[in-house]
Amino acid sequence: MSSPSLSLVDDEDGPRSSDSAPPAGGSALAAALADSAELMHTAVGSRRVLDELVAAALRLVPGAQDASVMLSERDVLTAQRATSPTVEGVDTVQLELREGPSLEAAAHARPVRVDDMGQEERWAAFAPQARGLGVVSTLSLPLRTRTSVLGVLNLFSTRVAAFGDESEQTGLLLTRHAAIALAEARGVDNLHRAVAGRDLIGQAKGRLMDRYGLDEARAFGVLRRLSQNTHRKLHDVARQIATTGQMLELTALEAELVPARAAAPDDPAPGLGPRC
């Protein structure tokens, strides 16, 4: 059985393979890198930044036939993007075996190049499996800011020694811009999630206040108590209450909550603390 081959993207409207990449050091390459940097820095959200990064890598880095991106969360890499099922499989093998060029690039914050997987000795378990999937040479580049490594851009080829110094230097310029854009996009994403979380908590409190006659402080106390009792994040509890109005653990508290509607303003419902 022949090994699966990597996919080359030849669509005129999509990413171009490295065969048409501008010459390194030329004005065409500088202009293309500037355009790609602008696209990444103006992309809305981290997912879009990764899409722009992968497309630019295939257009600009000599030797690149396929690409993938892994991101680091609490020093653990996870696969995020892959341009073909083959490279998705290669990334999965690396993460399962906990060895390979991507992990080394992230751990040491430096590029890792493989000229021939068939001759590679650094990763005894990974290299034969990658070669069996059809990958011959790779280039892994860290997405590095001044303070941290956010992930790794991986480039793949079916050719021996497809990546040289020119590939590495072009890739490093690209990933430096990508890392800065990604860090900024993550900050925006986190802000959006925080705002959405506050909105959910507000909606959940509103439902509790309306149903049980609670004030805002006591409604929040109920959400916090449900979070503690169920060992779930407050945001997740609020989402369930806000969207469904139902929760098994909430039913168990109703004997305490229902009397609150009839309680005097200065008479707190049992177990829920003083009114504010």
What's the CATH class of domain 190-262?
A: mainly alpha
The percentage of the chain sitting over the pLDDT mark of 90, rounded to a whole number, equals 45
Query: Which part of the chain is CATH 3.30.450.40?
Result: 18-186
Please choose, from the candidates 257, 208, 203, the residue with its C-alpha nearest in 3D space to the C-alpha of residue 235.
203
- What per-residue confidence (pLDDT) applies to 242? 81
- What per-residue confidence (pLDDT) applies to 158? 97
Is the pLDDT at 127 greater than 90, yes or no? yes
Exposure of 267 in the CB half-sphere (CA atoms within 13 A) = 8
Are the beta carbons of 22 and 29 closer than 8 angstroms? yes
Distance CA 173, CA 160 (A): 23
- What per-residue confidence (pLDDT) applies to 220? 85
Which of 114-118, 152-156, 157-161, 178-182 is predicted least confidently?
A: 178-182
Is the pLDDT at 126 greater than 60, yes or no? yes
Are the beta carbons of 23 and 170 closer than 8 angstroms? no
- Let me know if 172 is exposed, middle or buried by CB neighbors in 10 A (0-12, 13-18, 19+): middle
The reply to whether the predicted model has a pTM over 0.75 is no
Q: Give the mean model confidence (pLDDT) for residues 69-98.
A: 95
Query: Which part of the chain is CATH 1.10.10?
Result: 190-262
Is the pLDDT at 159 greater than 90, yes or no? yes
Distance CA 202, CA 167 (A): 51
Superfamily (CATH H level) for 18-186? GAF domain (3.30.450.40)
Are the beta carbons of 88 and 31 closer than 8 angstroms? no
Is the pLDDT at 73 greater than 80, yes or no? yes
Is the pLDDT at 236 greater than 70, yes or no? yes
Average pLDDT, the chain: 81
- What per-residue confidence (pLDDT) applies to 54? 95
Q: Give the mean model confidence (pLDDT) for residues 61-69.
A: 97
